[in-house]
Structure 1
């Protein structure tokens, strides 16, 4: 079994954000591994199954341009067909463009597109039966697929009232039992979900462990979290063999993201001598990841994708305006990020007409934004970097990579404070007077590090966090956010405000408790990146927000951070933190020591 997951439209070895080659990246390189693995298996007399585990439609500009310019067939479907995929499952981001566009894209592909815990979408299969001939007879493989129920919240603007997404474990249990009863020799779960350290409960987002524990599942293809298995990322989790790639004894592979790895599960099968119908049984198994590092792109797939590649590059060169300064995210978790300030400006400008129409112009408006490119799991090259001067659609995509719409929320000063406490909880605890503590985890999910423009505040990482990364309250009295001010005066907890945020956050993404009961103000749908483009086209006429926060001074305390290599030439922007450049580490990031 060969598997990819979370491709996120990384098809070619090209960086569309700066229009330069990006060697050793994309499905064109994974394709080289696929061809080699297929030839290796077939030479050994093995049947070969190739699957994808979802989140393939969204993630790079080629995906967005394929939708906006109606490129058909869709480039990802073209690639799947060319490489001979046997089945694909759906992930949460595959609904980012809505159900109708998803139907247009996958409606006539020559392989099954599966989601087993989805109700209300007639063009998606609930499972698939695949038959593979061998010298000793045919092997029948049942394939199911599940995705997080939270998808219905994250994409509520597309999905509300149209679909239902059931619990993943319960769906996997029911469908796998049915497939076994129908005579399948093997049942494989395409589980677009990660592994967690808790039981999760009903409707959990990361439930691959519970799915692997089902005795009707023979192998699991996991994903969603962009991590790796086999590998150390899941060491210490109950039931997980991080070296052997087994979860509760079930062969399980998780192949990173963006085509970075090919997941391989080898199963040795034999006829069950005690079975009346001679069913196959699983003997030995072996799980591995094969990396695309230093792998050359597959020339055939590269040729197949030439036309959409050229169309995307041309579309991204469309001008939208100018930027007065360089906009980058190298310091977004510890210093100024003027790119976020531009997005905040654009968001406010886009919704003010609707606020006036609703008769709410008397309420202060804050604008909530979070970085979408910040290194972390995506690597040291994944930072926003827009040069000063002409701005094109390429740069708009670099500022915000997700397909979100804008929402307006009505809330109180107390809710704003709690919102920021959740954001500040993503940082590590830094003891006062300590030296060299990491400010944030290496794999921080900084798309949940909301920065609120329109207020000013400081974050004190020496204080305990109010929440954990999942939004569970650890200490309701904990306070990292200090000196929160609106118009220069302390924010009254009873003060009413409006906040503009993206649809992911407003729909419950990130588990921000402060927003769970906040009221929504009706606004017409506005796509966030279109708001950014309109802002530049209008000549940047927004309120002119400046980066609104800073770290609390802690004399005698230093922290260590990771950022992109290009940040070395920009350290004057964080001069108040007396940065010491520690150089570029083995991980490819530039490491800095900052003095608070």
Structure 2
């Protein structure tokens, strides 16, 4: 953790013609201003720009030269974002609350992320119009030119800010900082409905290679890439989603601020990747940082700059992270900074409006809805989502050419632990179901879609989802079941068919969706209405715009199989279904299960509270092993 109050060594080291600059970066805020979990409707010490603001104020007070930037994904991600988009609205006289908070803190610049577009392009443009700082995007384009320099970009591709740099002797020097922004080109797939025909994207590295020399020619002393993109392949691949490494290799780029992956850099998660120094915090030798998500960390890059005949150069650097909370040995969480009251006050009215929004009851549930075991057994919470999508889609397809085809429903557990930690699960008690509960069940404001697939594609879809499991050796004991590199939102469970998953077989796909074992088959006994599913059969699958448009790389869902595009979000569908039913009792129908492997046991981690629901699991023998050092509870499953 950066020492916020003591003088940094670069400040004491800097002499005449040398200067210490502290660059601060946020990323993936996802509308988290208050330290509040709107899904659980209670305060949360691990989130919130208001807490980060205290770090920022402390760093500014202790350093002569500072800058603050954001790396994108700020408009969407919790119920405050939904409340603003669907009810409150934004205009020039009523800025978005996250923008108002950022204005209060005093950001120097930001870029767009992919989730900015979940509410539509017009909403983005109205929202960013309220920013008192430039918001940049070099690869989001209205009209493509022959080269990136001839593109008509939606927002300014870059900005050069004139600053005064105070050196170690207290003398001021003119200093020009160039900032350029990028987002993943895949946004055109993920938000196809909102963007297709209106904008397009360029490859990140292609755009940077064109613009950075121009920025240098215009006098930029330092070029900082605000890259809403993670750390992935070392070598450049056209259309690369996580392009921070090849971006850092471009001559003229001094610093890369990464994001999108919701991870921490510097940090051990990126150990062993060529070109990455995960201890020092460099990408291809350039200083870099990635500050987690939801305001969990402030990324800080300290630069010792030296004036030479060629201009200012970086003579030394240090990358680090400032967390807003720590996890204690007893697995409790303690905030390490208080919220900045000025930031809380700036969005207090929106916070109150969000609380009213999330607390509206729309129906009731007879039983609990939780996601503690959603990765290992059929689950009532997912069953409710699947039931609502089936109810909606069957009605929508009446009278259409697809009315007679079997309708299935795909849903995935969005909150299932993983990187966000042991508190990141859905847990809704019996009783009233409010909007906050629906938002907890279905985390993203996706819109509903239907795709037409063959039996072969359906099986491939399930094979892709089954990649979440590690390969299990029959007869071996206590093997880790879940591949932690596989995000739970790609574990689609398809309702309307019955099947088993044989984890003893190799996965057909890698966690990122690349076909690695074409002949592999984990899906067994796939049946519809008691009859085996054949390759040439046809089905309609209700899903969302992200999946239908190709998100996750699932067979049968590549954007060209869509037969229905609904005007409603999946959340709205669930709300309407609950309201019509009045009271729901979404017991799991156990249409899928892990295939038995006699004499075999596996280990599975979930929240400690999951022990209260062990009686719901009837498919296998499961025992509690106690709490692990990471705060999760560990369970043994015996087949």
The Cα of 1:443 is off from its aligned counterpart by 4.5
Query: What is the distance in 2 between the residues matched to 1:184 and 1:572?
Result: 64
User: Could you tell me which of 227, 232, 243 is aligned with 1:207?
Assistant: 243
Aligned to 1:423: 465
Deviates more, 1:119-128 or 1:502-511: 119-128
CA contact (8 A) 1:227 1:254 kept: yes
Task: Give the direction of change, closer, same or farther, for the CA distance of 1:305–1:543 in structure 2 (3 Å limit).
Answer: closer
Indicate if the aligned counterparts of 2:477 and 2:601 stay in contact, CA closer than 8 A. Answer: yes
Q: With structure 2 as the length reference, what TM-score do the two structures score?
A: 0.89
Of 617, 621, 625, 1:578 maps to: 621
* Runs of 4+ residues over 4 Å off in structure 1: 540-545
2:404 to 320, 344, 362: 362
Residue 20 of structure 2 is matched in structure 1 by none
- Answering whether residue 213 of structure 2 is matched by residue 177 of structure 1, we say yes
Asked if structure 2 preserves the Cα contact closer than 8 Å seen for 1:346 and 1:542, the reply is no
Structure 2 residue ranges without an equivalent (≥5): 1-22, 143-151, 166-170, 326-334
Whether the 8 Å CA contact 2:114–2:183 is kept in 1: the answer is yes
- Does 1:512 pair with 2:543? no
Query: 1:62 maps to what in 2?
Result: 80
Q: CA deviation at 1:123?
A: 5.5
Corresponding position: 1:18 with 2:49: no
Q: Following TM superposition, by how much is the alpha carbon of 1:247 offset from its aligned partner in structure 2, in angstroms?
A: 0.8
Alignment deviations for residues 401-451 of structure 1 (CA, whole Å, 9 cap, x no partner): 101011111111111001100110121111111211111133431101110
Provide the residue aligned with 1:283 in structure 2.
315
- Residue matched to 2:66: 48
> Partners of 2:566 and 2:257 in 1: how far apart?
39
Deviation at 1:175, TM superposition (A): 1.4
Q: Distance in 1 between matches of 2:575 and 2:566?
A: 17
The equivalent of 1:229 in structure 2 is 265
Residue 543 of structure 1, CA deviation: 12
1:142 — aligned with what? 178
Instruction: Give per-residue Cα distances to partners, 1:81-119, cap 9 Å, x unaligned.
Output: 011000011110011111111111111321001111111
The answer (yes or no) to whether the contact 1:426–1:468 under 8 Å persists in 2 is no
Q: Secondary structure at the match of 1:513?
A: coil
Contact 1:345/1:542, CA 8 A, preserved across alignment: no
Contact 1:220 1:251 in 2 (8 A): yes
SS of alignment partner, residue 556 of structure 2? helix
1:123–1:204 distance in 2 versus 1, CA, 3 Å = closer
CA distance in 2, matches of 1:401, 1:209: 30
Q: Structure 1: which 5+ residue stretches go unaligned?
A: none
Equivalent runs, 1:286-325 vs 2, <5 Å: 286-293=318-325, 294-295=335-336, 296-325=338-367
Deviations 1:8-49 (A, max 9, x none): 11211111112111124211211111111111213xxxx211
- Which residue of structure 1 aligns with residue 157 of structure 2? 126
For 2:8, the equivalent position in structure 1 comes to: none
Q: 1:582 to 1:154 in 2, by over 3 A?
A: same
Task: Trace 1:379-458 onto structure 2 (pairs within 5 A).
Answer: 379-458=421-500
**Structure 1 residue 565 corresponds to structure 2 residue 608:** yes
Once the 2 structures are TM-superposed, how far is the Cα of residue 459 of structure 1 from its aligned partner? 0.6
Aligned 8 A contact 1:457 1:483 in 2: yes
In structure 1, distance between residues paired with 2:51 and 2:392 = 40
The CA RMSD measured in Å over matched residues stands at 1.7
Give the TM-score, by structure 1 length: 0.96
| Cα deviation, residue 579, structure 1 | 1.6
Corresponding residue for residue 594 of structure 1: 637
Q: What do residues 279-328 of structure 1 show as CA deviations (whole Å, max 9, x unaligned)?
A: 21211111111111132222221222211111100111111111121111
> How many aligned positions are there?
588
Which residue of 472, 497, 501 corresponds with 2:539?
A: 497
Q: Is the 8 A contact 1:411 1:518 kept in 2?
A: no
Separation in 2, partners of 1:232, 1:484: 40
1:590–1:245 distance in 2 versus 1, CA, 3 Å = same
